[in-house]
Structure formats: structure tokens, C-alpha cells
Structure 1
């Protein structure tokens, strides 16, 4: 009965594509459609995302970017069908066979992400007052985080007997404080470098970069799907969430994450100011500070053990992030040194030639 209901429910939508379904499998927001013309994926999204994501995909196609899972038009040329309060669009069903290991798949994904950004990059005007306001608001927010850290550590250390959570926080405090200081310094460097700039680079970002949204065809070529949250924005808004998710693990030397980032940067190099802003946001210890604030503001509402587990996980994220941040810092320093030495050598050779 359920299978027949699915055929009736989605058959009406598929008629707009002249597709006759024989069997439909339910995968949540995606339906796998076996039909007279092949195997398709019918995706359900909110109508609020509809216009923008279709416009962004069409823009990318026009600019020559074709590593997107195709979206089929209806018979009358529309790219989505509104049914009740939901919007549906149709794609081919990708085989997505594992032909490479995780590291290589991620590298290909980052290469394609860089190419997507290169083809969609454009400068937009930035109001100096808006930049200053953004900077001031961010610094004020981070100053408040610092005030909380200092107040909470004093409160913990003033007790005769600390709770397990408070004892753990005192052990974490220096690392959290140093990360916040580093993050603020990079933001200040960024602002000093850009405060008189009147433009900034933006790209079409995917909005939800993930291996689940990068599928492979039978030839092993990778294609992005799920562009519902795509928009014109800074490229770091694709990179930062992905890296943060990949570092939410037990403590590790996350050299893979460094390699993925520099695979991307090889194809879409950041400007100096973009790198400073990326480093600032990447290193910021917001998650672990928010975990401590949550404990401080809700004592007794959750067990001590759960609070301890929560801050421990956030601290692992901080330490994994710290390792990657320090490797980036080292690599960027080496690059600048090599550039300076090359410039000095060229100048010396020029003087000798003169």
C-alpha cells in the first residue's frame, strides 16, 4: 500500500517531466525513481530556497562550470515543481561508487570547490563604515568572551573544592585564552590591512560542502549536488564549516585537513587579507567558550558528567584546530620568507646587471 501511495503521490509530479515511474524508494527528502527513462532522484526542498539556488546553478553553467549533478527541466521548461507547500526538482541518480580512498575523494572535492569559486569570483563594493562596524562588533563580542573566561577562572580558583567540571576548565583555560588572543590579533592585522579597501572578493558558495553532497559517476568524476543553500559570499564560508566538522574527533594530528586546504589554495589562492581573516575565524575558540558559558548559566539543569563530556569534546576540537592553525601559520611564514628572499635576490642581480 505504501509503495502504491508513493507512486500516486510522486507520479503526479513526475508527469511534468514525462517520466512514468515503475517503482519508488524512499530516502527521506530524496526519492529514488525507477522509470521508463532510467533511474532518477526526486528531491524535496523548501520553496524559500527555490529561486536562488536554481539561479546560482544556471549562473555556474553559463560560466562554464559543469561539475554539478544536472537538474532536469520539466516539459514546459521549469526547473522545479511546486506541490502543496513543497518544491521538487529532478536529477539523474548517481552511482557514487567508491573508487578512491577518503583522502583522495576529499582532495578531488576541494579541487572542484576551488574551480567553482574561480569561475564565479567577483569583486563587490564594501562600505568602509560597514567594515568598521563588523570589526568593532566582532572585537566587542570576543572581548566579552575574554571577560567571561577571566571571571570564570577566578570563580573556579576561589573555591576550596572545585567541581570536576571546574577542575577541568582550569586545566583548559590557558589553551582557550591563547587561542582567543591569536584569533583577535589576526583580526586586528586583517582590519589594519583592509580598512581603506573599497572592494572584497566574493564567489558563489555551495553552502553545505560535504562528501555526501559530492557524488561520483561511473567514470569516477565528481559532481556537486544540494545547492539549496548556495549564495554569493566569501569563499571561507564553504571552507570553515567543513574543516570544523572534520576536526570534531578525538585529538589527532590533522595533516589531512592541512593538505585539503592547500589543495584548494593551490587552485584558488587567498589574498593576504583573506588569509588573515580566515586564520582569525578558524582559530577562534567559540565552541569551547560557549560550552563553559552554558555550564555556568545552567548549573543543576544537566548532569555534571554530561557537561564534562561536552566541554571535553569541544576542547578536543580546539586542540585539533590549533594544530592545523599552527601548520597554516608555519606554511604562510615560509612562503613569505621565500618570496622575500627571491625579491632580494632579483634586486641584487638587477643591481649587478646595472
Structure 2
């Protein structure tokens, strides 16, 4: 409490009461009202406010501002650093789907406002493609050899039985991802430029807050950076699908909310689908099981089935987007002929 009191003094505020909201966030009540005080993680970018200043210069203001101290700094503290923001809430009475619609629309608008083109380094593009392709082929081969050995055994361990059961579907997902990667490369190698946008780095309804009149604002720009616009979508969906088996029929709708407000290029769609479809987590579990001497069979089986669930949760989303893209291309071809 003394540390928080000292921090608030740098803003000319007197602490009356502090309420812990999470391990890093406090709701502080002061002589000038309530504020949100956030502790900056040691591994986060302490210059994240530069990105917020850039956003404002570009005319995008749908983010929660960070207050300056009396000395003009955005961060306060000595050993640990904190920053102060107005207190907003994320408990607006809306359906889950509607909150995500607002989130994806604002993400698209932020990307669109900050989008810029940079010249492609063909050597880097080719290296990324070849390295990724080689890695995926090697991981696929490791899995194939693992299954081949397991199938020659009289008795399979629980993990081996699961791995054999999931093999066919995993290889199909891998081949699909490789095909999309190939399509991305064929398109991008003909281009002179590619696009970057200011990405939030961790879009979530928990990082999208509302004021008293219902307007939504982004918060927590600690991972913000200029990167390919698909990065925000990739991280969001990877986290969303990393759970127990579930149907997310609205997930594609959220994607198209984004796409209507900031359309992705064909090569960007292919790269997104490629990364989404590739069962990285499952291959990681298979490799770890073979590498470690003293495996915990139960734990490894649990991790394997979780990775399988993630792959299967992702599949309907990726399939729907891909089929829609193929239908669109066919319609465009028939219209032009």
C-alpha cells in the first residue's frame, strides 16, 4: 500500500483506498476519483506509449489514455514501474458475440488507420518460406516414423495409441497448411511491397473497455508493434481455439467483421490459414515425448489430447474461410470471362 501511495504522489493524487483487480492491476480511489493503476511487467516494452502517441497522430483515438506524472513521464516508480489510466469497465451488458463484433471492428479500423507498405526483401521472404517448409516436412517425418514404430509393437502405450489415432487427421491438416503456405509464397514473390500495421499484440474483450456512455476503447498496448495485420488475428484465434472441444459458429463472423472494415489481401489470407491450420502444438508434444527420458504418461496423454482438440476446434473456421475464398475466386473468374 505504501508503494501505491508513493506512486500516486507522483501524479499529485492522494490514495484513499486500493482494490486489487488482478495480479498487475489496481483500482485506486483517490481525492480526485477512481483510476486504474497497472504494473508494467519486466519483460514488456517500456516504450509502448510511443505507439499510442503515433496512433493519436494518425487520428485514431479509441484507446484508453495513459496519464503523465508531474515530471512529464508516462511511467512512475523506482524498482517496479506503473502507469495510470482512467477507470473504465468491461462489464457492458452485451451478448458475447456483440462484444467480439465491436472488438474486431475496432481492430480493423486501427489497422486500416496505421497501415503502411514496405519494400519486400526477397531474400528474407525466400528464406522464411524454405525454413518453414523444411521444418514442417521434418516434423511430419518424425511423426510418421513414430507411428510406424508404434504400429509394429504388440502393445501400445496409451500415448502411442492416441498418436496413432490422430495421425491421419494431423497429416491432412499439415498438408492443407503446406498448400496454403505454397500459395502465399507464389503470390508474395511476385510483389514488390508488403503491408504492416500497428498491431495490438493481445486483442481480447478483456483489453477492450467501455466508458459510461458505452463507447469502446483499447487498453494494454504493452505488446503493440508494427507487424503484419494478420498477427493480431492469429494470436486471438490460436488462444480462442486452445480449449476443450467446442463449436464457435460466430468465429468466422468476427473474422468477416474485420475483413469488411479492413480487407486482407489474398496472400495475407493464405498465410493466416496456413499458420492457423498447422498443428504446431501437437507436433511439439510428439517430439517432447520422444526426447524426454522419464515421461509422465498421463500428463503427456493429456497434453496430446489438448493439442488434438485445438486442431479440431480450428478446422471448421479454417475450412469455412478457405471455401469462401475459393467460391469468391470462381465467381470473379466467371464474371470476367
Q: TM-score, normalised by structure 2?
A: 0.95
Residues 313-322 or 245-254, more deviating: 245-254
> Could you tell me how far 1:117 is from its partner in structure 2?
0.4
Is the counterpart of residue 43 in structure 1 residue 49 in structure 2? no
Report if aligned partners of 1:179, 1:284 keep a CA contact under 8 Å in 2. Answer: yes
Report if aligned partners of 1:96, 1:218 keep a CA contact under 8 Å in 2. Answer: no
Deviations 1:230-287 (A, max 9, x none): 0110111111111111112333332221111111111111111111111111111111
Unaligned runs of 5+ in 1: 1-5, 345-354
Structure 1 residue aligned with 2:205: 211
Structure 2 residue aligned with 1:61: 56
Query: Secondary structure, in 3 states, of the residue corresponding to 2:10?
Result: helix
Q: Provide the rounded CA distance (Å) in 2 between the counterparts of 1:32 and 1:168.
A: 47
1:327 to 320, 327, 333: 320
Q: Provide the rounded CA distance (Å) in 1 between the counterparts of 2:201 and 2:32.
A: 31
Q: Provide the rounded CA distance (Å) in 2 between the counterparts of 1:104 and 1:31.
A: 27
2:84 to 81, 90, 97: 90
Report if aligned partners of 2:177, 2:273 keep a CA contact under 8 Å in 1. Answer: yes
Q: Provide the rounded CA distance (Å) in 1 between the counterparts of 2:204 and 2:52.
A: 17
Structure 2 residue aligned with 1:76: 71
Is the counterpart of residue 32 in structure 1 residue 27 in structure 2? yes
> Could you tell me how far 1:47 is from its partner in structure 2?
6.3
> Could you tell me how far 1:46 is from its partner in structure 2?
4.0
Is the counterpart of residue 305 in structure 1 residue 298 in structure 2? yes
Q: 1:12 to 1:252 in 2, by over 3 A?
A: closer
Aligned ranges 1:1-354 → 2 under 5 Å: 6=1, 8-27=2-21, 28-46=23-41, 49-81=44-76, 83-298=77-292, 300-302=294-296, 304-344=297-337
Name the larger-Rg structure.
1
CA-based RMSD: 1.6
Q: Provide the rounded CA distance (Å) in 1 between the counterparts of 2:105 and 2:239.
A: 19
Q: Which protein is richer in helix relative to its size?
A: 1
Query: Secondary structure, in 3 states, of the residue corresponding to 1:97?
Result: coil
Q: TM-score, normalised by structure 1?
A: 0.91
> Could you tell me how far 1:142 is from its partner in structure 2?
0.5
Q: How many residues align?
A: 336
Report if aligned partners of 1:187, 1:276 keep a CA contact under 8 Å in 2. Answer: yes
Q: Provide the rounded CA distance (Å) in 2 between the counterparts of 1:196 and 1:328.
A: 24
Q: Provide the rounded CA distance (Å) in 1 between the counterparts of 2:117 and 2:210.
A: 32
Q: Provide the rounded CA distance (Å) in 2 between the counterparts of 1:260 and 1:39.
A: 33
